Amino acid sequence: MPRELLIMQGKYKTVEGTEISIENCVKAKVKDLVVEGKTCQNLVSNLDELVGKVYTRDTVAIIDSTLFKANTTYTAMVAISESSYSSEKYGAIFSVFYPTLTNGYRDISLKDGTFKLTFSTKGEIPSKIQLGVQYGNSNTSSFKLDNLVILEGDYTNIDLPNNIDGIESVAERENNILSVKINDNTTPLNLPIPLRSLPNGVADTIEGNKLVQRVGKVILDGTENWALRVSNDDYLVFNCSGLSILKTSTNYGKSPSKMICKQFAPSNIYSMDSTAITKEGICLRESGTGFILSISKNKLDTQNLVGFKSYLKSNPVTVTYELDSQIIHSLEIPSISTTKGTNIITTDNNIKPKLSMKVKVKK
């Protein structure tokens, strides 16, 4: 039988996942490739202050907990080296403290390495989250923290990124190049933007020869049209209006899951008066043309609009949000083929997207 006919034998099977293993493949072109974007936010907002330091029983790593929520599951990846413990039973410990509820603890291995653990917050926002040497060790026991990633959600059976500081989306670290890898063969896809996603499941996708953008991004640096909205003893709330670059989803303030912010937790502060503002937060304005942001007065050099704009100039606020209508980008997708036998399909990118495709297998 001619080789060309042998190649054409078989049937197409749809496969999907971040790392796919498919057996009995026939050498043939991949069909109907779909790539779903993903955005990860490391909730450790003071990462630079913590990583690279040595901690003892008396010098703990205190994790900024302003972005954490109540009744929510999280996954932490903790990388430790140079550990030395006097106890043969207790090493490092991950602790979650609450204003009134019982505190929670998770033990970490006595050994050096990278460890993944999940934890769930209780019915109130944690007052403090910390990582340190567990009591039962001497004061000289210690470890070095090499890396710390905490993501919202349960990643028990999902690959975590190697590292992430702030917010990162698929192909962002790689200068918008997505690498589709089949066994040892890698095909680079040049993208106009990173592939993003939001907590509500909305995501950018590659579908055939187009990129469907459903998620936008803006950086607020104080040059926008801000005005004071309300004020109380502890917080100032500011309006940002007239951002024509935004194409935003309706009822935004009531749906915090439609946005991600690097520095402030999405909330429904748009509906609150001055007496109800008891925390920092950000949401879209009712009109959908800008943002409302609540900030603690003690963060500002001067507790007024000038001080707020000065803060944003030194600490730009990154917001990722759901678009009201899709934006279509044209792409050139090169031919991607499987080889005969077993094929492992994945990507080399730090943030791995969900891949879906049809590959030809033996009948």
Residue 3 pLDDT > 70, yes or no?
A: no
Confidence at residue 248, expressed as pLDDT on a 0 to 100 scale:
62
Query: How would you classify residue 313: left for phi > 0, otherwise alpha for psi between -120 and 50, otherwise beta?
Result: alpha
Q: Note the pLDDT tens digit of each residue in 337-359.
A: 999 999 999 999 999 999 999 99
The DSSP annotation for 79-146 comes to EEEEEE-S-SS--EEEEEE-SSSPPEEEE--SSSEEEEEEEE--SS--SEEEEEEPBTB-TT-EEEEE
**Side chain identity, residue 117:** L
End-to-end distance of the chain based on CA atoms, in angstroms?
17
Confidence at residue 165, expressed as pLDDT on a 0 to 100 scale:
83
Report which of 211, 179, 210, 184 is spatially closest to residue 195, judged by C-alpha positions: 211
Q: Which two tokens stand for residue 92?
A: 């490092």
Pairing of strands 113-120, 73-84: antiparallel
Q: Which two tokens stand for residue 82?
A: 């140079």
Q: φ, ψ for residue 121 (rounded to 5)?
A: -75, 160
Q: Note the pLDDT tens digit of each residue in 164-206.
A: 888 999 999 999 999 999 999 999 999 999 999 998 899 999 9
